[in-house]
Amino acid sequence: MGMTAQQLTDETAFSAAVERHRRELQIHCYRMLGNFEESEDLTQETFLRAWRRRETYEARASLRAWLYRIATNACLDAIERRPRTPSPNGEIAWLQPYPDELLEGIPADADEPDVEIVARETIELAYMVAIQHLAPRPRAVLILRDILGWPAKETAAALGLSVAGVNSALQRARAGMKENLPEQRLDWDAAGSPAERALLARYIEATEAADAPALAALMHEDARFSMPPEPGLWVGRDTIVEGWISGGFGSEDLGQFRLLEARANRQPALANYLRKPGDDAYRAFAIDVLRIEGGAVAEIVMFGADRFAAFGLPPVL
């Protein structure tokens, strides 16, 4: 779907035309950057660049494809200005979760179905971590070719590469993803299934009761735990739970937890509120995003209280 001459010259009409693509462009920037806040900024930067360069738009071309091209290059420029590399343990310190609520309602063009844009396989945290291990251009090639389904020629034009260069980058990117994705990744429990709901209910009950052994019993033996942007990767349910206990979990000095369910990156998430001794309210503490496989928790990624607002969660209960 293209833009009319009037839309190209009238800023209000132009904004209305591009605005319907805001959410999917933000998801695109999020995949490129792995950071929710930066994806919001880069989406706005995309719209500013589009308005400034509107004379480069060809009337019969797809507006959507033109915007994706601008967004991709805006992200590549941002990464070049601020290059970041994973830690030696493979952690992505800049990783932030993406609220599921914002993944809904993306308008689809009649000839461009958008199911893949928000597919769990390409938005879950394990995928986001893996894709951040790729060099920026192969990352962009993988997103444009494998997620958006762009032809090699169109991808090459968008990135200023040859078709051979695109095909080579895609090969490298696919190999990198295979190396960095969890092996059992497709053994998910269905989102919202009775099994998942029952496990979450037990997890909430154990956390609110400060029952460390019960929490350990809900995890895989080789479960993983991390807290971006803080460094550190804990592997093994005993190691994880012992770390929580040493941090005060279960002690009266820490206080009492209350949990609310949420969803992030097409995965179950739990908003943790903590009432400290002497306080009369539960206050935002952390959001845990869980990866559930084979009926047990395989991974927990904890994010700080600064993420509550993005999820529309109150700071105090």
Q: Which residue blocks in 108-151 are alpha helix, DSSP H?
A: 125-132, 136-142
Beta-carbon count within 10 A of 225 CB = 22
CA distance 218 to 225: 14
What is the model's pLDDT at position 110? 42
Q: Map out the domains of the chain with their CATH numbers.
A: 5-180 (no CATH), 194-311 (3.10.450.50)
Give the Cα separation of 206 and 244 in Å (integer).
13
Return the pLDDT at 115.
62
Closest-CA residue to 270 (of 216, 193, 196, 189): 196
CA 189 to chain centre: 19
Please report, in tens digits, the pLDDT of each residue of the chain (317 residues total): 566 656 667 788 889 989 989 999 999 999 999 999 999 999 999 999 999 998 888 876 789 999 999 999 999 999 999 999 999 889 999 999 999 999 886 765 544 545 667 788 899 999 999 999 999 999 999 999 999 999 999 999 999 999 999 999 999 999 999 999 987 655 556 677 898 999 999 999 999 999 999 999 999 999 999 999 999 999 999 999 999 999 999 998 999 999 999 999 999 999 999 999 999 999 999 999 999 998 999 999 999 999 999 999 999 99
Is 235 in contact with 220 (CB distance < 8 Å)? no
Residue with tokens 């190999």: 175
30 contacts 120 by C-beta, under 8 angstroms: no
Residues with Cβ within 8 Å of 302's Cβ and at least 6 positions away in sequence, in order, are: 225, 226, 227, 286, 287, 288, 289
Q: Round to whole Å and give the CA distance between 37 and 98.
A: 10
Tell me, what's the pLDDT at 62? Answer: 87
How high is the pLDDT of residue 49?
Answer: 97
Q: Read off the tokens for 92.
A: 């992505």
From residue 22, alpha-carbon distances to 55, 105, 110, 142 in Å are 21, 11, 18, 21
According to the model, what pLDDT value does residue 111 have?
46
Report the DSSP beta bridge partners of residue 230.
227
CB 215 within 8 A of CB 203: yes
